[in-house]
Each structure stands twice: as C-alpha cells, then as structure tokens.
Amino acid sequence: MSAIELVSVLTELIFVLVFLLVAWSAVRRRTRTSIDIALFFGAIAAFIVESRVVTTLGLEQVELVNDVVTILVIAMPYLLLRLVDDFSTVPFIANRLAEAGLLFSAIAFLATVGQPPTSIVLVIVVYFAALATYCAVKFIRAARRSSGVTRRRLEAVAAATLLLGLTILVAGLSPVVPAAAGALDGLVQILALGSAIAYFVGFAPPPILRRAWQEPELRAFLRRAASLPRLPDTPSIVGALQDGAGSTLGARATIGLYDRETNKLRFQDPHGVLPNEIGPSEYLVWRAFETQGAAYYADAARANPGLAPAYRAHGVRSLLIAPISAATERLGALEAYTDHQPVFSEDDLDLVRLLADQAAVILESRSLIDEAARVRAHEQAARLKEDFISAAAHDLKTPLTTLVAQAQFLERRAVTEPSAPPDIAGIRRIVLEARRLSALVVELLDSARLEQGKLVGEREPVDLVELARDITGRETYQGRRITLSADAPVVGSYDPRRIEQALENLVENAVKYSPEASEVRIAIMKRDGLARIDVTDEGIGIPSADLAQIFERFHRGTNVDDRRFAGMGLGLFICKGIVEQHGGRISVDSRVGTGSTFHVVLPLGDTA
C-alpha cells in the first residue's frame, strides 16, 4: 500500500468514525442541528462506503446507487448551509441561490449520459467550493461571537470546511490539467485528511481536548469570581455572576435566588424575558430548579408556548438552564438565553453546569461571611448590653444609695425628733442626687433618640461664643481655670438646646478628667465659612488604641478608673450624634498623660 493510499484509507476511516459519533448523538438528542450534522456526514460516509464496497469486492457500479451517492455528495455544501442556518442567520437570497445551484447540479448530472462534460464538472466544482467557502466564513464569524469550547470547535469546523472546499476544487482541476494529475491527487488526499481531522476535532473532540479548551475560560471566570464574596451585598454578587456567566457563554444570563419564605425564585435582571418572581409553575427555569437537573431547550418558544411572544420580542431562541445548589441546599437557578441554536449544545450545557456550581460556591461563601458577621454583631450587641448593664448599674447605684440612705436618715429623725428643725443639708443632698439620677436617665433617652435620628429639633440663630461664655460661668465650674478664646461672635443656625448639650459635655469631660489646678481652654473661630470649636484639657488623655472607638456607645478609655470617674460612655456618643445631625464632624487628638483636644466643625447654616 502506497503512502497516498494509506492517507486515503485513514481519511475515510476518520470521516466514517465522525459519522458514527454524530449519528449516535442525533439519536440521543434529536434536534435540528444534530440531525443536520448527521445528514452531512452521512452523505460523506455513503460515498466512502459505496466506493470501498465496489472497489474492494470488484463489483460493477449500480447506476441508481451511484446516482444517489453522487447527488448526496453534490448536496454536501447545501447541508452545510443548513447547519449554518441553525445557529446563524443565512440571508434569504443565499438560501435560494444554494437551492438553485443544487437543483442545477443534480439535473445536469442526471441529464448527462456517461461521463459529464468538463464544463459541467467545473460548474459543479465552483458551486461546491464557493458554497463551502461561504459556510467557512460564517463559521469563523460565529466562532468570534462565541467563547470557550464552542469557539475552538467552530474554528476547527471552519478550517475543515475551507479544506473540504479546496479538496473539491483541486480534485475538479485534475481532468483539466492531466499533466499534473499525480501531484494534484496527492494534494487532494492531504487536503482531505486535514479536513477529516479538523471535522473530527470540531464535531467529535475527545474529552481530554474539551477539558483543555475549557480550562482558560474557567480560569478567567474563577479569577473574577475569587473576589465576589467580598462585594458589599448579595445583589452586587449576583450582578457580577450574571455578567461573568454571560461573558463566558457568549450569551445573556440571569440568576434567580430561592426565597424559602415565599417558595419563589427572585430574579434581579431577567432581561424582560421572565417575571422578577417565579413560584411553582410550568416555567422551564422552575422545572429545572425543582428537578435539580440541567436542561437545554433548542426552541424556547416551542418548549414554553406561553412565553413565546416574550422570547420572540427579546430575541431568545434557545435556553440553557442549570440549578444552583450546595450539597442538598437549593440556592437558585442560572438561565442563559441565546439568539441562535448552539451548534454544540452539550458543551455549552456542561459549561452552564460548571458556572452554576461555581456560583453556588460563591453564594455559599457569601452566606458564611454574612453569618459570621451576624455572629460578630450578636456578640458585640451582647457585649454592649453587658457593658450597659454594668455601667448603668454602677452609675445608677451611687445616687440611689445616697438617696435611700439620706431618706432613711430623715425618716428616723422625723420619728425620733418630730420637733427638730429640717435638715437642709440632707434635703439638698437628696435633690442633688435626684438631679444626677435624672441626668443619667436623660442621657439614656437621648441615646435612644439619637439612634432614631430624632435628637436634633428646630434650629435658630445661636452665638457659639456667647453660649460657651454662659457655660463656663456656671456655678458647677467655679474654682476651675477655664479660658475662652474668641475674636468675634460666631453665629450659626442650630438647635440651641442640643448644641449647648454637646459643648457642655465636652467642657464637663475636660474638667472631670483633668487635675483641679490644670487649665481647660476653649477656642471658637470662624474659618472657611465654617464654625470651629476646640476644647483642650491637660488631663489623663486617651490611649491610641481607644481613639478609633472613643465616640462609640458605651465605650470609655481603657485608662479610665470607674471608681474615680463615673459615667456610662454615652456622652461622646451623643456629642458626635448632635454634631453630625447638624451636618458637622467631630474628632480628637490625644496623648496619654498630656491631655486631649476635641475638634468640632459645624456649618453656619442660614441665620437670616
């Protein structure tokens, strides 16, 4: 056997193998695309088998059989065009010209007695080569629109179709150039072998090759997916997953998350094709979710006639659907819409399954992150609750103990010495502690109002300098060195009671945490259209580790001795709320053992 004969046999075996594989695929999944592929390779296989049987057994050719096989070969480019039309739009004129060319070629061949004239053969060859080239170009364009395995397979099919057209063209030239017939026959066999191998790679690639093609696309998706669980919220994650799946598949994709309370799938962006919520129904996506099985629908309108108008309106021809689940927990479903019937639906369906599995991992990761955050929030809330109970019990106990003790003393005195003059000092002590107790209760109420955003009320023009002067002159601070620095009045539109509360709280803290002989300085100025207040003390300072949380509720510096400095850690929290609800900001600079400076910046507002 010569090398040319060996190449010829190998080529024929590959074409027959491809036919057997695609025919089996058409039997398992009967779609127009799979049937058209089987018809195309069936025509090639029929020609090969008929030629081999006649040649090997030395039989005379049966004219009818020979005519049928030859017409099947002539019909091959038209069968290719049908395949192109399955996944892309072939213009009406192109279809009619192809049919006319097929009809002319068949009639010319059948009408000829004996060997057809060279002119007829050349016309048929040109028709075959031109149509094969047109189909190859359409395959290349489809490959550019696709991605992953589908793109590689379409590229292989395009190359195979182009080589097939060249094979027929070169074979048709052999009778025209007899001198080069030997060389042309060898070229024909090489081109045919290349076409057979490329068709095998395109229509029946081995699993190892498919996995190699899938890897780059999956790696790219996984790189994008790695950061998705850290996005701000679940809708952001779903949106990114939809975009990633659509990009990987070369289609539009939507994800519906399962809501257990309503027993519905909720879609974030179904592209107008589906409603935003789908419960138990005949919707194809619900069917896939309920059965937990991936599904491919070549003709979406036929599979679900109720949505046919929506499918047509939004250019949906085929559907690829896969459930999203983690172990036994159902999370949702991924649905991809295509405006054409995929040539290689089994590969696209495998890819949709992989993307759905990856989406499940990402969503489950996000769920775990959210659960961890909820646990941390619960622990923090429990800790704050414990801190509050401890602080409230400590701070409320002191005035209550004094109140009860003083009241019991007055009661005993009234019983034993009814005529004794009233104990003015004891009564004043009761009033003082009652006011202190009232202030603690008010602080707690203010904290609750602040959480609701209802702390700041009506605003009116307030002179901050005059307000500070009034606070520093109060009896509470008699004997303390408090200096006020201000060049001119600073008037803004504020809630006078709340601004006074914030400023007094800062001054009170500065006095409380500073030695009696130290100085507290207040500076008020107007700069860049804003009111600025600085309150500086020479007290115990705030550790750097506490600065980030010092304005949080119930937080006190770790260097604060609760026995010396009473408080629940609400004062600065309320100060911050008052300032921010006025549109301002508050900050602090501090060093332990040196003192602290609190900076308040407030907008002046409309004081007219």
Instruction: Reply yes or no on whether the pLDDT at 274 is more than 60.
Output: yes
Cβ partners under 8 Å of residue 347, min gap 6: 148, 149, 150, 153, 210
**Structure-token match 């046999």, residue found:** 9
CATH of 3-205, one of 1.20.1070, 1.10.10, 3.40.50, 1.10.3470: 1.20.1070
Residue 533, strand partner residues: 524, 600
Query: CATH topology of 214-373 equal to that of 460-603?
Result: no
Distance from chain centroid for Cα 342: 25
Buried/exposed 318-353: b ≥16 CB within 10 Å, e otherwise: bbbbbbbbeeeebbbbbbbbbebbbbbbebbbbbbb
Predicted confidence at residue 405, as pLDDT, reads 75
Span 114-122, average pLDDT: 73
Domain 460-603: top CATH class: alpha beta
Select the more confidently predicted residue: 341 or 429.
Answer: 429
Residue type, 293: G
Predicted confidence at residue 238, as pLDDT, reads 84
* Spatial contact of 467 and 499, defined as CB atoms under 8 Å apart: yes
Select the more confidently predicted residue: 245 or 158.
Answer: 158
Domain layout of the chain by residue ranges: 3-205, 214-373, 400-451, 460-603
Residue 259, strand partner residues: 264
Domain 214-373: top CATH class: alpha beta
- pLDDT tens for residues 343-371? 556 667 877 888 888 888 888 887 777 77
CA–CA distance from 147 to each of 88, 212, 594 (Å)? 15, 13, 66
* Spatial contact of 456 and 578, defined as CB atoms under 8 Å apart: yes
Q: At what angle do helices 32-57 and 76-87 cross, to 10 degrees?
A: 160
Most confidently modeled range among 46-50, 55-59, 180-184, 285-289: 285-289
Of the listed ranges 91-95, 225-229, 283-287, 390-394, the least confidently predicted one is 390-394
Predicted confidence at residue 530, as pLDDT, reads 92
* Spatial contact of 459 and 495, defined as CB atoms under 8 Å apart: yes
Select the more confidently predicted residue: 579 or 425.
Answer: 579
**Structure-token match 């000829």, residue found:** 112
Select the more confidently predicted residue: 414 or 492.
Answer: 492
- pLDDT tens for residues 220-258? 766 766 677 777 778 888 888 888 777 777 678 899 999
The three-class DSSP label of residue 481 is strand
Of the listed ranges 24-38, 335-349, 576-590, the least confidently predicted one is 335-349
Element (H, E) at 556: none
Predicted confidence at residue 392, as pLDDT, reads 60
Instruction: Reply yes or no on whether the pLDDT at 43 is more than 70.
Output: yes
Instruction: Reply yes or no on whether the pLDDT at 304 is more than 70.
Output: yes
Average pLDDT across the chain, whole number:
81
Residue 587, strand partner residues: 599
Spatial separation of the C-alpha atoms in residues 165 and 131, rounded to whole Å: 8
Buried/exposed 274-307: b ≥16 CB within 10 Å, e otherwise: bbeebeeeebbbbbbbeeeebbbbbebbebbeeb
Select the more confidently predicted residue: 520 or 145.
Answer: 520
